[in-house]
Amino acid sequence: MQSCCTIHDPTAAVCRGAGEPLVIEEIQVAPPKSGEVRVKIICTSLCHGDISFWRSESGPFSFFPGIFGHEAAGTVESVGENVVEVKAGDLVVPVVQRNCGECRDCKFKGNACTKFPAASLNAMPRDGSSRFLDKDGQPLHHFLFASSFAEYTVVDVTHLVKISPEVPVDKACLLSCGVTTGVGATMKAAQIEEGSTVAIFGLGTVGLAVAEGARIRGASKIIGIDKNLEKFEIAKKFGVTDFVNPTSCGKDSVSQVIREMTDGGADYCFECVGSTSLIREAFDGSRQGCGKTVILGADLHGSPLSIHPLEILAGKSIMGATLGGIKPKQDIPHLAQKYLKKELRLDGFITHEVSFEEINKAFDLLLQGKSLRCIIWMNR
Protein backbone atom coordinates (compact mmCIF):
# COMPACT_ATOMS: atom_id res chain seq x y z
CA MET A 1 0.00 0.00 0.00
CA GLN A 2 1.35 3.40 -0.96
CA SER A 3 0.85 6.27 1.45
CA CYS A 4 0.87 10.03 0.98
CA CYS A 5 -0.04 10.90 4.57
CA THR A 6 2.18 12.00 7.43
CA ILE A 7 1.63 10.03 10.63
CA HIS A 8 1.06 12.52 13.44
CA ASP A 9 1.82 11.96 17.13
CA PRO A 10 3.52 8.54 17.18
CA THR A 11 6.17 8.41 19.88
CA ALA A 12 9.93 8.08 19.61
CA ALA A 13 12.80 7.96 22.11
CA VAL A 14 14.66 11.14 21.17
CA CYS A 15 18.21 11.91 22.25
CA ARG A 16 19.07 15.61 22.33
CA GLY A 17 22.64 15.48 23.60
CA ALA A 18 25.60 13.13 23.96
CA GLY A 19 25.13 10.73 26.85
CA GLU A 20 21.78 12.20 27.85
CA PRO A 21 18.84 9.93 28.74
CA LEU A 22 16.40 9.38 25.90
CA VAL A 23 13.06 11.17 26.17
CA ILE A 24 9.80 9.72 24.84
CA GLU A 25 8.31 12.42 22.61
CA GLU A 26 5.54 12.74 20.06
CA ILE A 27 6.89 13.20 16.54
CA GLN A 28 5.71 13.36 12.93
CA VAL A 29 6.73 10.68 10.43
CA ALA A 30 6.54 11.65 6.75
CA PRO A 31 5.33 9.19 4.09
CA PRO A 32 7.95 7.14 2.24
CA LYS A 33 9.34 8.59 -0.98
CA SER A 34 10.34 6.58 -4.04
CA GLY A 35 12.34 3.51 -3.03
CA GLU A 36 11.42 3.87 0.64
CA VAL A 37 9.27 1.94 3.11
CA ARG A 38 7.49 3.10 6.26
CA VAL A 39 7.73 0.48 8.98
CA LYS A 40 5.77 -0.01 12.17
CA ILE A 41 8.36 -1.17 14.71
CA ILE A 42 7.19 -4.05 16.89
CA CYS A 43 10.35 -4.47 18.93
CA THR A 44 13.89 -3.19 18.90
CA SER A 45 17.04 -3.88 20.87
CA LEU A 46 20.16 -2.06 21.98
CA CYS A 47 23.55 -2.65 20.34
CA HIS A 48 26.98 -1.40 21.44
CA GLY A 49 27.01 0.59 18.21
CA ASP A 50 24.14 2.66 19.58
CA ILE A 51 26.11 3.25 22.77
CA SER A 52 29.22 4.40 20.90
CA PHE A 53 27.33 6.98 18.83
CA TRP A 54 25.18 8.04 21.81
CA ARG A 55 28.37 8.93 23.71
CA SER A 56 29.94 10.85 20.82
CA GLU A 57 30.08 14.53 21.77
CA SER A 58 31.45 15.90 18.49
CA GLY A 59 32.66 14.97 15.03
CA PRO A 60 31.09 13.03 12.17
CA PHE A 61 29.36 10.54 14.49
CA SER A 62 27.52 13.10 16.64
CA PHE A 63 23.86 13.12 15.59
CA PHE A 64 21.72 15.29 17.87
CA PRO A 65 18.84 15.68 18.23
CA GLY A 66 18.05 12.33 16.71
CA ILE A 67 16.44 8.93 16.94
CA PHE A 68 18.87 6.09 17.58
CA GLY A 69 18.33 2.33 17.17
CA HIS A 70 19.25 0.07 14.28
CA GLU A 71 18.45 -3.48 15.40
CA ALA A 72 14.72 -4.16 15.15
CA ALA A 73 11.81 -5.98 13.58
CA GLY A 74 8.50 -4.62 12.37
CA THR A 75 5.82 -4.76 9.72
CA VAL A 76 5.51 -2.73 6.56
CA GLU A 77 2.93 0.04 7.02
CA SER A 78 3.21 1.53 3.51
CA VAL A 79 5.62 1.75 0.59
CA GLY A 80 6.78 4.51 -1.72
CA GLU A 81 6.84 4.40 -5.49
CA ASN A 82 8.96 1.76 -7.23
CA VAL A 83 8.96 -0.58 -4.23
CA VAL A 84 7.90 -4.08 -5.24
CA GLU A 85 9.83 -6.52 -3.03
CA VAL A 86 7.80 -5.84 0.12
CA LYS A 87 4.16 -4.94 0.76
CA ALA A 88 2.00 -3.81 3.66
CA GLY A 89 1.96 -6.39 6.45
CA ASP A 90 5.29 -8.07 5.63
CA LEU A 91 7.64 -8.82 8.52
CA VAL A 92 10.92 -6.98 7.92
CA VAL A 93 14.19 -6.09 9.63
CA PRO A 94 16.33 -3.00 8.91
CA VAL A 95 20.03 -3.51 8.20
CA VAL A 96 22.93 -1.07 8.34
CA GLN A 97 24.60 -2.63 5.30
CA ARG A 98 22.92 -1.63 2.05
CA ASN A 99 22.04 -4.40 -0.43
CA CYS A 100 20.49 -3.26 -3.72
CA GLY A 101 21.16 -6.50 -5.59
CA GLU A 102 21.92 -4.56 -8.76
CA CYS A 103 25.38 -2.97 -8.47
CA ARG A 104 28.63 -4.79 -9.24
CA ASP A 105 29.44 -5.33 -5.57
CA CYS A 106 26.04 -6.83 -4.75
CA LYS A 107 26.19 -9.14 -7.75
CA PHE A 108 29.74 -10.33 -7.19
CA LYS A 109 32.26 -10.49 -4.32
CA GLY A 110 31.93 -8.46 -1.14
CA ASN A 111 28.98 -6.66 0.41
CA ALA A 112 29.90 -2.97 0.05
CA CYS A 113 26.87 -1.96 -2.03
CA THR A 114 27.55 1.05 -4.26
CA LYS A 115 23.95 1.86 -5.20
CA PHE A 116 24.42 5.44 -4.01
CA PRO A 117 27.72 7.32 -4.49
CA ALA A 118 27.67 8.57 -0.90
CA ALA A 119 25.27 8.32 1.99
CA SER A 120 25.09 10.16 5.29
CA LEU A 121 24.66 8.00 8.38
CA ASN A 122 22.14 10.48 9.80
CA ALA A 123 19.70 10.92 6.90
CA MET A 124 17.90 9.04 4.15
CA PRO A 125 20.48 7.75 1.65
CA ARG A 126 18.86 8.89 -1.62
CA ASP A 127 18.36 12.58 -0.88
CA GLY A 128 20.12 13.24 2.45
CA SER A 129 16.97 14.55 4.14
CA SER A 130 14.95 13.51 7.20
CA ARG A 131 11.50 11.94 7.46
CA PHE A 132 11.13 12.97 11.12
CA LEU A 133 9.95 16.21 12.73
CA ASP A 134 9.67 16.83 16.44
CA LYS A 135 6.59 18.35 18.10
CA ASP A 136 7.90 21.85 17.26
CA GLY A 137 8.30 21.00 13.58
CA GLN A 138 12.11 20.75 13.74
CA PRO A 139 13.92 17.96 11.85
CA LEU A 140 15.37 15.02 13.78
CA HIS A 141 18.44 13.11 12.62
CA HIS A 142 18.15 9.56 11.36
CA PHE A 143 20.61 6.92 12.59
CA LEU A 144 22.34 4.20 10.56
CA PHE A 145 19.46 4.09 8.04
CA ALA A 146 17.06 2.61 10.61
CA SER A 147 16.12 4.85 13.60
CA SER A 148 14.24 2.01 15.25
CA PHE A 149 13.65 3.74 18.61
CA ALA A 150 10.33 4.97 17.24
CA GLU A 151 6.86 3.54 16.76
CA TYR A 152 7.17 4.28 13.03
CA THR A 153 10.26 4.80 10.93
CA VAL A 154 11.12 5.18 7.24
CA VAL A 155 13.79 2.91 5.75
CA ASP A 156 15.20 2.75 2.24
CA VAL A 157 14.26 -0.56 0.64
CA THR A 158 17.96 -1.31 0.05
CA HIS A 159 18.36 -1.39 3.86
CA LEU A 160 15.39 -3.68 4.49
CA VAL A 161 15.11 -7.49 4.53
CA LYS A 162 11.87 -9.48 4.39
CA ILE A 163 11.68 -12.28 6.98
CA SER A 164 9.48 -15.38 7.10
CA PRO A 165 6.45 -14.77 9.36
CA GLU A 166 7.23 -18.13 10.97
CA VAL A 167 10.15 -16.51 12.80
CA PRO A 168 9.12 -15.03 16.18
CA VAL A 169 9.46 -11.27 15.96
CA ASP A 170 11.98 -10.99 18.83
CA LYS A 171 14.23 -13.58 17.16
CA ALA A 172 13.89 -11.75 13.84
CA CYS A 173 15.07 -8.62 15.65
CA LEU A 174 18.33 -10.37 16.59
CA LEU A 175 19.08 -11.05 12.93
CA SER A 176 19.05 -7.33 12.17
CA CYS A 177 22.66 -6.71 13.28
CA GLY A 178 24.69 -8.27 16.11
CA VAL A 179 23.99 -11.99 15.79
CA THR A 180 24.14 -11.81 12.01
CA THR A 181 27.50 -10.02 12.21
CA GLY A 182 29.07 -12.74 14.36
CA VAL A 183 27.56 -15.82 12.76
CA GLY A 184 27.93 -14.36 9.28
CA ALA A 185 31.64 -13.63 9.81
CA THR A 186 32.37 -17.31 10.42
CA MET A 187 30.58 -18.32 7.22
CA LYS A 188 31.36 -15.46 4.85
CA ALA A 189 34.42 -13.49 5.95
CA ALA A 190 36.46 -16.28 7.56
CA GLN A 191 34.84 -19.33 5.97
CA ILE A 192 35.90 -21.48 8.90
CA GLU A 193 36.69 -25.09 8.04
CA GLU A 194 35.75 -28.11 10.15
CA GLY A 195 38.42 -28.87 12.74
CA SER A 196 39.76 -25.30 12.86
CA THR A 197 40.86 -23.50 16.02
CA VAL A 198 39.21 -20.17 16.81
CA ALA A 199 39.99 -17.37 19.28
CA ILE A 200 37.39 -14.71 20.07
CA PHE A 201 38.34 -11.41 21.72
CA GLY A 202 35.26 -10.12 23.55
CA LEU A 203 32.27 -12.23 24.57
CA GLY A 204 29.46 -9.78 24.01
CA THR A 205 26.64 -10.57 21.61
CA VAL A 206 28.86 -10.41 18.51
CA GLY A 207 31.59 -12.54 20.08
CA LEU A 208 29.12 -15.17 21.27
CA ALA A 209 27.54 -15.17 17.82
CA VAL A 210 31.00 -15.88 16.38
CA ALA A 211 31.20 -18.82 18.79
CA GLU A 212 27.80 -20.05 17.66
CA GLY A 213 28.86 -19.79 14.03
CA ALA A 214 32.16 -21.54 14.73
CA ARG A 215 30.26 -24.33 16.46
CA ILE A 216 27.98 -24.74 13.45
CA ARG A 217 31.03 -24.80 11.14
CA GLY A 218 32.60 -27.61 13.20
CA ALA A 219 35.54 -25.82 14.87
CA SER A 220 37.50 -28.15 17.14
CA LYS A 221 38.58 -25.55 19.69
CA ILE A 222 36.82 -22.23 20.40
CA ILE A 223 38.67 -19.96 22.82
CA GLY A 224 36.85 -17.05 24.45
CA ILE A 225 38.86 -14.09 25.77
CA ASP A 226 37.14 -11.71 28.20
CA LYS A 227 37.80 -10.00 31.53
CA ASN A 228 34.25 -10.65 32.74
CA LEU A 229 34.30 -14.07 34.39
CA GLU A 230 30.49 -14.20 34.36
CA LYS A 231 30.63 -14.47 30.56
CA PHE A 232 32.36 -17.84 30.67
CA GLU A 233 29.38 -19.92 31.82
CA ILE A 234 27.15 -18.18 29.28
CA ALA A 235 29.69 -18.74 26.52
CA LYS A 236 29.71 -22.51 27.04
CA LYS A 237 26.12 -22.58 25.79
CA PHE A 238 27.29 -21.15 22.46
CA GLY A 239 30.11 -23.64 21.93
CA VAL A 240 33.10 -21.98 23.62
CA THR A 241 35.44 -24.76 24.80
CA ASP A 242 38.27 -22.83 26.48
CA PHE A 243 38.61 -19.50 28.26
CA VAL A 244 41.30 -16.88 28.82
CA ASN A 245 41.03 -14.07 31.36
CA PRO A 246 43.56 -11.39 30.26
CA THR A 247 44.08 -10.32 33.87
CA SER A 248 45.22 -13.83 34.85
CA CYS A 249 47.94 -14.41 32.25
CA GLY A 250 50.79 -13.32 34.49
CA LYS A 251 53.83 -12.21 32.51
CA ASP A 252 52.56 -13.82 29.32
CA SER A 253 50.57 -11.88 26.76
CA VAL A 254 47.18 -13.18 25.67
CA SER A 255 48.62 -13.96 22.26
CA GLN A 256 51.32 -16.13 23.86
CA VAL A 257 48.69 -18.03 25.82
CA ILE A 258 46.65 -18.60 22.66
CA ARG A 259 49.69 -19.87 20.76
CA GLU A 260 50.42 -22.34 23.55
CA MET A 261 46.79 -23.52 23.67
CA THR A 262 46.66 -24.06 19.90
CA ASP A 263 50.15 -25.44 19.25
CA GLY A 264 51.35 -22.41 17.33
CA GLY A 265 48.40 -20.07 16.99
CA ALA A 266 44.69 -20.05 16.24
CA ASP A 267 43.59 -20.58 12.65
CA TYR A 268 41.05 -17.77 13.04
CA CYS A 269 41.02 -14.84 15.46
CA PHE A 270 38.08 -12.47 15.79
CA GLU A 271 38.32 -9.02 17.40
CA CYS A 272 34.81 -8.12 18.62
CA VAL A 273 35.50 -5.18 20.94
CA GLY A 274 36.76 -2.33 18.80
CA SER A 275 40.26 -1.89 20.23
CA THR A 276 43.39 -1.44 18.13
CA SER A 277 45.54 -3.03 20.83
CA LEU A 278 43.30 -6.11 20.83
CA ILE A 279 43.47 -6.31 17.04
CA ARG A 280 47.25 -6.46 17.35
CA GLU A 281 46.95 -9.11 20.08
CA ALA A 282 44.57 -11.16 17.94
CA PHE A 283 46.92 -10.94 14.95
CA ASP A 284 49.87 -12.06 17.10
CA GLY A 285 47.82 -14.98 18.39
CA SER A 286 46.97 -16.24 14.89
CA ARG A 287 48.84 -19.09 13.25
CA GLN A 288 52.03 -18.39 11.35
CA GLY A 289 51.66 -18.88 7.59
CA CYS A 290 47.87 -19.14 7.42
CA GLY A 291 46.23 -17.43 10.40
CA LYS A 292 43.40 -15.04 9.60
CA THR A 293 42.33 -12.17 11.87
CA VAL A 294 38.84 -10.74 11.32
CA ILE A 295 37.98 -7.30 12.72
CA LEU A 296 34.33 -6.97 13.77
CA GLY A 297 34.61 -4.27 16.46
CA ALA A 298 34.60 -0.59 15.49
CA ASP A 299 37.30 1.67 16.95
CA LEU A 300 35.72 5.12 16.45
CA HIS A 301 38.92 6.79 17.70
CA GLY A 302 40.72 5.69 14.56
CA SER A 303 43.90 4.57 16.34
CA PRO A 304 46.52 3.38 13.81
CA LEU A 305 47.50 -0.28 13.55
CA SER A 306 51.15 -1.18 12.95
CA ILE A 307 52.01 -4.51 11.32
CA HIS A 308 55.35 -5.36 9.71
CA PRO A 309 55.00 -6.25 6.01
CA LEU A 310 57.03 -9.44 6.51
CA GLU A 311 54.32 -10.76 8.83
CA ILE A 312 51.83 -10.45 5.99
CA LEU A 313 54.31 -11.83 3.45
CA ALA A 314 54.71 -14.89 5.66
CA GLY A 315 51.06 -15.77 5.06
CA LYS A 316 49.06 -14.29 7.93
CA SER A 317 46.18 -12.00 6.97
CA ILE A 318 43.90 -9.42 8.52
CA MET A 319 40.55 -8.21 7.27
CA GLY A 320 37.46 -6.29 8.30
CA ALA A 321 33.89 -7.40 7.77
CA THR A 322 30.89 -5.10 8.06
CA LEU A 323 27.84 -7.14 9.09
CA GLY A 324 30.07 -10.20 8.95
CA GLY A 325 30.57 -9.89 5.19
CA ILE A 326 27.07 -11.14 4.41
CA LYS A 327 24.75 -9.94 1.66
CA PRO A 328 21.66 -9.13 3.77
CA LYS A 329 18.82 -9.90 1.38
CA GLN A 330 20.05 -13.39 0.52
CA ASP A 331 21.89 -14.40 3.68
CA ILE A 332 19.63 -13.17 6.52
CA PRO A 333 16.64 -15.23 5.29
CA HIS A 334 19.06 -18.18 5.14
CA LEU A 335 19.98 -17.62 8.80
CA ALA A 336 16.28 -17.37 9.65
CA GLN A 337 15.74 -20.80 8.09
CA LYS A 338 18.64 -22.18 10.12
CA TYR A 339 16.86 -20.95 13.24
CA LEU A 340 13.58 -22.56 12.19
CA LYS A 341 15.44 -25.84 11.59
CA LYS A 342 16.97 -25.54 15.09
CA GLU A 343 20.48 -25.35 13.62
CA LEU A 344 21.06 -21.78 14.83
CA ARG A 345 20.42 -21.00 18.49
CA LEU A 346 19.04 -17.52 19.09
CA ASP A 347 17.06 -17.74 22.32
CA GLY A 348 20.09 -17.50 24.60
CA PHE A 349 21.03 -14.05 23.32
CA ILE A 350 17.91 -12.49 24.85
CA THR A 351 18.67 -11.80 28.51
CA HIS A 352 16.18 -9.01 29.31
CA GLU A 353 12.93 -7.49 28.04
CA VAL A 354 11.53 -4.02 28.78
CA SER A 355 8.73 -1.77 27.58
CA PHE A 356 9.44 1.19 25.30
CA GLU A 357 8.91 3.56 28.22
CA GLU A 358 11.77 1.77 30.04
CA ILE A 359 14.26 2.16 27.19
CA ASN A 360 16.83 3.92 29.38
CA LYS A 361 16.89 0.81 31.58
CA ALA A 362 18.17 -1.11 28.54
CA PHE A 363 21.06 1.38 28.32
CA ASP A 364 21.86 0.88 32.01
CA LEU A 365 21.87 -2.91 31.68
CA LEU A 366 24.24 -2.86 28.72
CA LEU A 367 26.55 -0.27 30.25
CA GLN A 368 26.79 -2.36 33.42
CA GLY A 369 27.61 -5.48 31.40
CA LYS A 370 24.49 -7.26 32.63
CA SER A 371 22.77 -7.94 29.33
CA LEU A 372 23.49 -9.38 25.92
CA ARG A 373 20.36 -8.30 24.11
CA CYS A 374 17.50 -6.50 25.82
CA ILE A 375 14.33 -6.64 23.73
CA ILE A 376 12.45 -3.34 23.86
CA TRP A 377 8.76 -3.88 23.10
CA MET A 378 6.97 -0.91 21.59
CA ASN A 379 3.48 -1.72 22.86
CA ARG A 380 3.77 -3.87 25.97
> Is residue 229 very low, low, confident or very high in pLDDT (cuts 50, 70, 90)?
confident
Shortest CA distance to 298 belongs to which of 319, 277, 318, 276?
A: 276
Strands (DSSP E) contained in the chain are 7-15, 23-29, 36-45, 66-67, 71-79, 91-94, 132-134, 152-156, 160-162, 197-201, 221-225, 242-244, 268-271, 292-295, 317-320, 350-355, 373-377
The model's pLDDT over 150-195, given as tens digits with 9 standing for 90+, comes to: 999 999 999 999 999 999 999 999 999 999 999 999 999 999 999 9
Q: In what order do the strands lie in the sheet with 242-244?
A: 242-244, 221-225, 197-201, 268-271, 292-295, 317-320
The fold of 7-176+345-377 is: Quinone Oxidoreductase; Chain A, domain 1 (3.90.180)
The fold of 179-322 is: Rossmann fold (3.40.50)
**DSSP code for 97:** S
pTM of the predicted protein model = 0.94
Give the domain ranges of the chain: 7-176+345-377, 179-322
Report phi then psi at 50, rounded to 5: -60, -45
Q: What is the pLDDT of residue 37?
A: 98
Q: What is the pLDDT of residue 302?
A: 72
The chain-wide mean pLDDT, for the chain, equals 94
Instruction: Kindly tell me if the per-residue pLDDT of 350 is higher than 70.
Output: yes
Q: What is the pLDDT of residue 28?
A: 98
Report phi then psi at 32, rounded to 5: -70, 140
Rounded average pLDDT over 48-59: 82
Which of 1-15, 109-123, 133-147, 291-305 shows the highest mean pLDDT? 133-147
> Is residue 372 very low, low, confident or very high in pLDDT (cuts 50, 70, 90)?
very high
> Is residue 56 very low, low, confident or very high in pLDDT (cuts 50, 70, 90)?
confident
Among 2-11, 114-123, 271-280, the range scoring the smallest mean pLDDT is 114-123
* Percent over 90 (pLDDT), the chain: 81
Q: What is the pLDDT of residue 117?
A: 74
Among 10-19, 46-55, 123-132, the range scoring the smallest mean pLDDT is 46-55
The model's pLDDT over 59-106, given as tens digits with 9 standing for 90+, comes to: 666 789 999 999 999 999 999 999 999 999 999 999 999 999 999 989
Rounded average pLDDT over 276-297: 95
> What distance separates the 2 farthest-apart alpha carbons in the chain?
66
Report whether 347 contacts 171 (CB < 8 A).
yes
